[in-house]
Amino acid sequence: MWIAPFYNFLFPDDFYQLLDSEDILSTINTASSDDHSFEQKYAVIALFKDGAFFAELLKQDFLYDSYISRMLSYKKHLYRP
């Protein structure tokens, strides 16, 4: 099974975004996909079945958001405020 790469970005106001897109499924997350995130933190997740179509629609917004954000590595994530 091939797993698509995912990209993590941290917006200037510390809002976290994760985008994962491939030819079958695209996802956009603002937090972890667990019960605590959905019930307590009101996390948002969007799943799109036709990944290629929605990936093209979201491309410009994601590129702009990425431009004003900084890439978040695991090492930097450990020292987040």
The separation between CA 35 and the C-alpha centre of its own chain, rounded to angstroms, equals: 18
pLDDT band at 45 (very low <50, low <70, confident <90, very high): low
Q: Average model confidence (pLDDT) for the chain?
A: 61
**Considering the entire predicted model, what is its pTM?**
0.29
Instruction: Give the whole-angstrom CA distance, residue 48 versus residue 21.
Output: 9
H or E element that contains 36:
helix 35-39
